[in-house]
Amino acid sequence: MYTGPVIAGSVAVLSLSCARGQEFTPFIEFGEDIVARGRASSNTAKEFARAGQGSKDSFARARLVFPDGTSRVTIERDPEPVYVERGSGSYVFDIDGRRFLDLNCNFTTLIHGHAFAPVVEALTDQLQRGSCFANPTRGEIELAELLCERIPRVDRVRFVNTGTEAVLFAVKAARAFTGRSRIAKLEGAYHGAYDWVEVSQAATPDNWGDPASPKSAPLYRGVPESVLDEVVVLRFNDVEGARRLLSLHARDLAAVVLDPMPSRGGLTAPSPEFIAAVQQTARDNGVLVIADEVLNLRQSFEGAAARYGLVPDLVTMGKIIGGGLPIGAIGGREDVMRVFDASGGRPVLPQGGTFSANPLSMAAGLASMRHLDHAAIAHLEMLGNFVRDGIDRAIEKKGGSLCVTGAASLFRIHPTARPPTDYRDAYPTPCGAAVMKELTRFFAANGIILPYGAAAALSTPMTRADAEIIVEVFEGFLDNHQDQLDGIEVQK
């Protein structure tokens, strides 16, 4: 039996009541009126999924101080964003008193959920001793030791404040080590806010070019042509294309930046042949391989590169290694990491930052990573398999041009009948995008935050019952939206 979110005050009370084996019939209660969610219209779901009055009032204030009313482009709004008051475990509570199962986890960061007790305790202790210093602390050594011991090919580490900085300095390190300036990257892959790795991050059918030789597409107006010229764009899982393009441009390439399972690229597993082709071609030509594990480090105890057989020269990390606080890290081969070495004077590559390796992030990260042991990883793997398998079974049983991809604690639902192999496959048609928007609304109306067009993340406080309700809500969506699902067009 599952009882879902309860809305405080005189507004609605949303409840889901599902015994195992019974038909899924969640309902919304408005006073004495009960609307069966299994038969509710899209308009009903849209109305309930919208922000409450407190969020609407907050957004009105925010529009007076932020360019579009938000402080980052990734904030979802429909049309207003939902403002959160607090989080606890696998749930967040908005300022209108509604509770939601959180499948965003601040863009996959909170692997132990919200207000994780060991992290709260570590931060409380560190705050009483100081928040930041110009001098180093033992905490940074302890977290670095943990990463070096756990993550293959990480012989040395440098801490920064974000995943963006980690990728930025990894690219610079590859340039400094090789003496070359150009890089290769995957079409549609997100690597943070650095001009070169933003190339083709959001390519569209209008500008992504020939499948055999993708164009370097700018992310924003005013990107220097020189930046576009310095990036070779590869298609994920295109074995021959990767081998050909890397060989053709190898003379000028410092590195190939590779997310082992790009979220925006479809959250699809790399083929062993693709990993082997990239790795061997790069090695044969002196091109460094940068594994961007800022998001996907959570895929195994040793990270995603180890899971898929990638042996990188540099690794970028972030998100989960900070325990919910800002962090980034560059790790890699000892000889490559020497570009940061200032023991003999000015290093080949200077790197610093006022808050890099700050003791709060170090304390939170150490507490979080110490509790991310083999048992925790196995629990997340079990939950992820259950959710993905359950969604697959629901689609097979009820029909609909949808599929699910992902691995470990991550999953992503697509408006296509077959799993995409790369970014172009995953790029939705207008009809498909509308279905995904309705899916997000339906989940919100049933007390679950499901990211729109991105990876959904599970966290260690979640239970088998939480996983069951995710699947059951998805089944309810299929029951409610068959007409819309039947109209999805396949991207050619």
* pLDDT tens for each residue of 369-388: 999 999 999 999 999 999 99
Give the CA-trace dihedral at 145, 146, 150, 152, to 10 degrees: -40
Check whether 284 has a pLDDT greater than 60: yes
Check whether 2 has a pLDDT greater than 50: no
What integer pLDDT is reported at residue 275 of this predicted model? 98
What tens digit of pLDDT does each residue of 413-435 get? 999 999 999 999 999 999 999 99
What integer pLDDT is reported at residue 26 of this predicted model? 33
What integer pLDDT is reported at residue 50 of this predicted model? 77
What integer pLDDT is reported at residue 44 of this predicted model? 55
What integer pLDDT is reported at residue 453 of this predicted model? 86
Average pLDDT over residues 164-177: 98
Check whether 3 has a pLDDT greater than 70: no
Check whether 20 has a pLDDT greater than 80: no
Domains 44-111+374-486 and 117-370 share a fold: no
pLDDT band of residue 58 (cuts 50, 70, 90) is: very high
Which CATH architecture group holds 117-370? 3-Layer(aba) Sandwich (3.40)
* Averaged confidence pLDDT in the chain: 90
H-helix or E-strand containing 83? none
Residues 6+ away with beta carbon under 8 Å from 75: 81
CA torsion through residues 216, 217, 220, 223, sign: positive
The residue assigned the tokens 């990480």 is 154
What integer pLDDT is reported at residue 489 of this predicted model? 52
Residues 6+ away with beta carbon under 8 Å from 399: 478, 482, 485
What integer pLDDT is reported at residue 484 of this predicted model? 80
pLDDT band of residue 399 (cuts 50, 70, 90) is: confident
What tens digit of pLDDT does each residue of 27-44 get? 333 222 323 333 344 555
Q: Report whether 192 contacts 294 (CB < 8 A).
A: yes
pLDDT band of residue 15 (cuts 50, 70, 90) is: very low
What tens digit of pLDDT does each residue of 189-210 get? 999 999 999 999 999 999 999 9
What integer pLDDT is reported at residue 48 of this predicted model? 60
The tokens for 66 are 């932020």
> Max Cα separation, the chain?
76
More confident residue, 73 or 24: 73
pLDDT band of residue 439 (cuts 50, 70, 90) is: very high
The residues that bridge with 27 in the sheet, in sequence order, are 15, 36
Q: Report whether 326 contacts 162 (CB < 8 A).
A: yes
pLDDT band of residue 477 (cuts 50, 70, 90) is: very high
The tokens for 48 are 């309930």
The one-letter code for the residue type at 6 is V
Has this prediction a pTM greater than 0.85? Answer: yes
Give the CA-trace dihedral at 208, 209, 210, 215, to 10 degrees: -80
Check whether 404 has a pLDDT greater than 50: yes
pLDDT band of residue 294 (cuts 50, 70, 90) is: very high
Domain ranges of the chain: 44-111+374-486, 117-370
The one-letter code for the residue type at 468 is E
3-class DSSP assignment, residue 59: helix
Report the range of poorest mean pLDDT among 111-115, 333-337, 398-402: 398-402
Q: Report whether 164 contacts 317 (CB < 8 A).
A: no
Torsions phi, psi for 71 (to 5 deg): -105, 5
Check whether 17 has a pLDDT greater than 90: no
Q: Tell how strand 448-449 and strand 99-102 pair up.
A: parallel
What tens digit of pLDDT does each residue of 334-345 get? 999 999 999 999
The residues that bridge with 214 in the sheet, in sequence order, are 209
Give the CA-trace dihedral at 417, 188, 453, 301, to 10 degrees: 90
What integer pLDDT is reported at residue 46 of this predicted model? 60
Check whether 401 has a pLDDT greater than 80: yes
Check whether 482 has a pLDDT greater than 70: yes
Q: Which fold has domain 44-111+374-486?
A: Aspartate Aminotransferase, domain 1 (3.90.1150)
Q: Report whether 452 contacts 436 (CB < 8 A).
A: yes
